[in-house]
Amino acid sequence: MRQTLASRTGGAEHEDAARDGGGVRGPGPLIVTEDVVLLDDLLRLCAAAGVEPEVHHRVPERRASWTDPPLVLVGEDAAARCRGATRRPGVVLVGRAQDDPEVWRLAVEVGADSVLRLPGAESLLVDRIADAAEGVGRTALTVGVVGGRGGAGASTLACGLALAAARAGRRTLLVDGDPLGGGLDVLLGAEREEGRRWGDFAASKGRLAGGALEESLPAARGVRVLSWGREPTGAVPPDAVRSVLAAARRRGGVVVVDLPRAVDEAGTEALAQLDLGLLVVPGELRAVAAAHRITGALSLLVRDLRAVVRGPYAAGLDERWVADALRLPLAGELPYDPGIVSDQDAGTPPGAQPRGPLGRFCAAFWERALPAGGAA
């Protein structure tokens, strides 16, 4: 017997939930149970994860229907009927009875790698379902860019890094974390592209499907961009920032986040998810003094914070002097690029020219930072 999410429930509530998650993901898990109450709960959790399962009352006659799904959820009522099934990874025994020692014997008999109890484990099970459907591999290398002072060039560097990562064949998401900036979609040339902006995610909590997030965003030059719309938008809650960045990271590849200098609660959530932070500092004394005021706070939140020093330099200064003054490792010297302004006036995003100073800097950065092994 085979039932799908929509056919089993008659559908409206679960189908709406799947659409809200950005569309049905696939492939979904296999559910094996005759317990109607448990089945309704599992269908609800699958909808929350944005996937459509296949439902059977016993081990399917077709071998591939058992071995191919990314996850198998076996209800306690069906465990005895699953004895002797082909051993495979990703089998979860699901039930409601608490502290029943018999459940562990059943888990061993069906080859389950875990036992989950509802309702207490609902959140964990939603994550397990979504992870299995999306395929969880190496998380994205997430790099945040912050200006040491206003006008330091953080947005320019963030855009250049995203374009260079895309040219290197990496799945790339550029995130605009500064609601008071001019909009990274404008800088990238994607302001007219259809797609969601931050305001569409302001109510997000819990888990978002990474694939659905990626597909919903505007794209330009191989880069997906999450930016602010043209209409005024209130502050995005920290929960939404956490959900969006966690979904983006699960997709792998590269995530570049352009961050404001003032750190609020939402900014703290973003900083906590960075693998590497780059503080862009012009080579002048006032810029170093301004950068020094925020370095301490950033260092508490970012596990690996480094300086990117931008020329031209005031007399007696160079990139090493600036990095040493801030007590930060030097990530590199960003050469002065007089062509960036004229390129932007012509509609060319910063870093779009791979042979320009910014393009070369960003390509060299990713050669050092990205693991070998091709596109991700």
- Per-residue tokens: 28: 């979904």
CA distance 98 to 95: 9
What pLDDT shows up at residue 347?
Answer: 81
Task: Encode 176-211: b = buried (16+ Cβ within 10 Å), e = exposed.
Answer: bbbbebebbbbbbbbbeeebbbbeebeebeebbbbb
pLDDT value at 148 more than 50: yes
In the chain, % of residues over pLDDT 90: 59
What pLDDT shows up at residue 234?
Answer: 73
Bridge partners (DSSP) of residue 340 are none
Q: What is the pLDDT of residues 64-113, one digit of tens each?
A: 999 999 999 999 999 999 998 999 999 999 988 666 778 888 899 999 99
Q: What is the pLDDT of residues 193-237, one digit of tens each?
A: 999 999 999 888 777 778 888 999 999 999 999 999 877 677 889
What pLDDT shows up at residue 244?
Answer: 92
What pLDDT shows up at residue 17?
Answer: 32
What pLDDT shows up at residue 4?
Answer: 38
CA distance 53 to 73: 10
Q: What is the pLDDT of residues 340-375, one digit of tens each?
A: 877 777 788 999 999 999 999 999 999 999 876 544
Which has more confidence, 187 or 27?
Answer: 187
Nearest CA-CA partner of 362 in 340, 341, 343, 335: 335
In terms of phi and psi (left: phi > 0; alpha: psi -120 to 50; beta: otherwise), the region of 343 is alpha
CA distance 165 to 173: 9
Nearest CA-CA partner of 258 in 165, 153, 120, 186: 153
Start-to-end CA distance of the chain, whole Å, equals 38
Give the pLDDT mean for 148-154: 93
Q: What are the backbone dihedrals phi and psi of residue 86, each rounded to the nearest 5 degrees, phi first?
A: -55, 130
Bridge partners (DSSP) of residue 95 are 117
pLDDT value at 253 more than 80: yes
pLDDT value at 3 more than 60: no
* Token pair 């929350």: residue: 48
Q: At what angle do helices 154-167 and 357-369 cross, to 10 degrees?
A: 70
Cβ atoms of 149 and 295 within 8 Å: the answer is: no
Q: Tell me the CA distances in angstroms from 284 to 310, 314, 316, 324, one per residue in order.
A: 9, 5, 10, 14
What pLDDT shows up at residue 154?
Answer: 95
- Per-residue tokens: 25: 């993901």
Nearest CA-CA partner of 73 in 16, 17, 13, 133: 133
Nearest CA-CA partner of 179 in 234, 112, 140, 142: 234
For the chain, give the mean pLDDT. 86
What pLDDT shows up at residue 26?
Answer: 54
Q: What is the pLDDT of residues 19-35, one digit of tens each?
A: 333 333 557 899 999 99
Q: What is the pLDDT of residues 282-323, one digit of tens each?
A: 999 999 999 999 999 899 899 899 999 998 899 999 999 999
- Per-residue tokens: 67: 């071995």
